[in-house]
Structure 1
Amino acid sequence: MAPATSPTGSDHTGSRRRPFWTMERRDALAGYLFIAPQLIGITIFVLIPLCLVFWFSLHEWNVLAARFTYTGAANYKALLSDPGLGEVFGATAIFSLGLVVLNMSLALLLAVLLSQKLTGITVFRTLFFSPVVVSLVAWTIVWSFLLQKNGGLNAILQVFGLEGSNWLRDPTTAMISVIVVQVFKNVGLNMILFLAALQGVPKELYEAARVDGVSPFKQFRRITVPLISPTILLTSIITIVGSLQVFAQIAVLTQGGPGMSTTVLVYYLYQQAFQFHRFGYGSTLSIVLFVIVAVLTFVQWQMRKRIVFYER
């Protein structure tokens, strides 16, 4: 039997053409529109500058002479013969390690103490968090006056019969001073993150542990730390990446001195590019910094299977 046809001769037994704007395509378009601002921002302010920095690292750019010369891998070879780079990496490692250990330890301690339900505890939370919202440059300038030879810190020590040091001009104390200033500035941020994580730990677990006679230290080690491990991973990544990007504190407090004792990689990059006008070499150092941050972040993310309790 022949298939039915319309008066115009069209076949009604074939499937009806599917509309172009299906529900799936509308949902996909909505999703793309939502992520478009972020994607455009990352492309313009991250990906394109990163490609340009890599391009600049293959050139020697003399701004004063208006000369832009292709040098290939010459800047990368110069890294291997740079006499100051080893000291810069050492100062960067000391600063990052000291900052991460002190910041996270103090933040977790403060969070545990401030998680108690005591009268006026909100005031102390505000006091410890307030440095986070203070201007970084203003905070650093105030500390530069406090840490001078005749500054406020030494004046306080004299009251107790102690003689202070010239904290920012002594190679032994300069790095410690910079680390402490940075810890006091940002410890409140990690404290708030830890405090939020602690409030999410079920109280029933602590009550059951107390009934079983578990000591407070074991409760902290066996209950608190595992359950806030996602926040520990997050804060460690944020703190480590932030420690590798510190610039304003070094520039205001020590200018990389005494000698090169506080010259971290970011400040050394700035010196090479904007003080010595070696923009090609400065771009090469930027690539090195990017690789270091990417590798450390990747390693930490892979360690989540050992750190985060629900990833095990």
Structure 2
Amino acid sequence: MTATDLGDRVAVRAAARPRPFWTIPRRDALVGYLMISPQLAGSVLFVLLPLGLVVYYSLQEWNVLAGTFEYVGGANYAKLLADPNMGQVLASTALFSAGLVVLNLTLALVLAILLDQRLRGTTFFRTLFFSPVLVSLVAWTIVWQFLLQQDGGVNGLLGLAGVEGPNWLRGDTTALLSVVVVQVVKNVGLNMVLFLAALQGVPRQLHEAAQLDGAGAWTRFARITVPQISPTILLTSIITVVGSLQVFAQIAVLTQGGPGLSTTVLVYYLYQQAFQFRHLGYGATLSVLLFLIVAALTLLQWWLRRKWVFHES
């Protein structure tokens, strides 16, 4: 028997053996799936399943007091389209979100630029501006409720300057503005820290080279700083937009949606319909609407990133 024949027989026997199921690639894949299984289980239980149940409940009419649970199909969605309050609610939501996002991001970026300077005392001011983020939301809102009353601290300070302040939480315009300002002051420190970290990552050599070429401060900011920190701007804008559409405690404590519907944003209107008026099916329908709005705005920002975010084109 030649060496070639012997090699052929060994190859045939090896091919005839059953291949083990737990090969190295399969074991590696199993380890990977086990690693992500807690996160996957959490996503299914606390994200996908609740979303599915909300859609299911939006097709029902659930009367908790009467103990009835009746399938109504698209009746709740027809009610949504015919709701006379929906136009004002969506307008209040849009105004609140737009004001909050623009004011928060602008103020956070300005503060980050100022605190990025190598001056004495910047550490103190960084702590000062970030500390409201750590304060309890309800406690923060209750304090501001007292400050913004007719005879509160804000009007007291204005009175010292000879200015008579309005009842901030009872005016159609001032109520919405007050809630926006309270929310901005509470959370601007978080975006400020993110912008500050991004600014400190911008190479100093780029600014020095541009300055030697005669570029002014505004040109360097627009052509160097903004493109370099644009990924952080995208992140903070998505976080702030989503957060602005989920504000509830501030509205509930400060204005209860009033006066009229001027501060009744979609989340608070959802709460009223579902838990005050016991229209749980209609509340679930409003939840579906809120989810679609958040998803659409997030996807829009993610799609637009290729047009202005550095390294994404």
Which bracket does the TM-score occupy, shorter chain normalised? over 0.9
How far apart, CA to CA, are the structure 2 residues paired with 1:308 and 1:11?
A: 59
The residue type paired with residue 63 of structure 1 is V
Tell me, what secondary structure is at the counterpart of 2:61? strand
| Corresponding residue for residue 284 of structure 1 | 285
- CA deviation string 1:79-115 (max 9, x = no partner): 1110000000000000000000000000000011111
| Corresponding residue for residue 121 of structure 1 | 122
How far apart, CA to CA, are the structure 2 residues paired with 1:262 and 1:287?
A: 21
| Deviation of the 1:26 alpha carbon | 2.7
| Deviation of the 1:17 alpha carbon | 4.8
| Corresponding residue for residue 179 of structure 1 | 180
- CA deviation string 1:160-185 (max 9, x = no partner): 11101100011120000000000001
| Deviation of the 1:42 alpha carbon | 1.0
**1:201-216 equivalent positions in 2, closer than 5 A:** 201-216=202-217
| Deviation of the 1:20 alpha carbon | 3.2
| Deviation of the 1:18 alpha carbon | 4.2
How far apart, CA to CA, are the structure 2 residues paired with 1:78 and 1:251?
A: 25
TM-score norm. by structure 2 comes to 0.95
**Cα 1:212–1:10 shift into 2, 3 Å:** closer
CA contact (8 A) 1:147 1:168 kept: yes
| Deviation of the 1:24 alpha carbon | 2.1
**Cα 1:4–1:269 shift into 2, 3 Å:** same
The residue type paired with residue 128 of structure 1 is F
| Corresponding residue for residue 147 of structure 2 | 146
TM-score norm. by structure 1 comes to 0.95
**Cα 1:221–1:86 shift into 2, 3 Å:** same
Tell me, what secondary structure is at the counterpart of 2:293? helix
| Corresponding residue for residue 77 of structure 2 | 76
CA contact (8 A) 1:233 1:307 kept: no
**Cα 1:118–1:56 shift into 2, 3 Å:** same
Percent sequence identity over aligned pairs: 67
**1:1-312 equivalent positions in 2, closer than 5 A:** 12=13, 14=15, 17-312=18-313
Tell me, what secondary structure is at the counterpart of 2:13? coil
| Deviation of the 1:12 alpha carbon | 3.0
Tell me, what secondary structure is at the counterpart of 2:164? coil
**Cα 1:290–1:10 shift into 2, 3 Å:** closer
CA contact (8 A) 1:4 1:12 kept: no
Equivalenced residue count is 309
Which has the higher mean CA deviation after the structures are superposed, 24-33 or 225-234? 24-33
| Deviation of the 1:29 alpha carbon | 2.0
- CA deviation string 1:155-209 (max 9, x = no partner): 0111111101100011120000000000001101111111111111101001101
**Cα 1:190–1:210 shift into 2, 3 Å:** same
**Cα 1:61–1:162 shift into 2, 3 Å:** same
- CA deviation string 1:27-81 (max 9, x = no partner): 2222212211111111111111111111110011000000001100000000111
**Cα 1:149–1:18 shift into 2, 3 Å:** same
Over the aligned positions, Cα root-mean-square deviation in angstroms equals 1.8
Listed as ranges, the gaps of 5+ residues in structure 1 are none
The residue type paired with residue 273 of structure 2 is Q
| Deviation of the 1:15 alpha carbon | 6.5
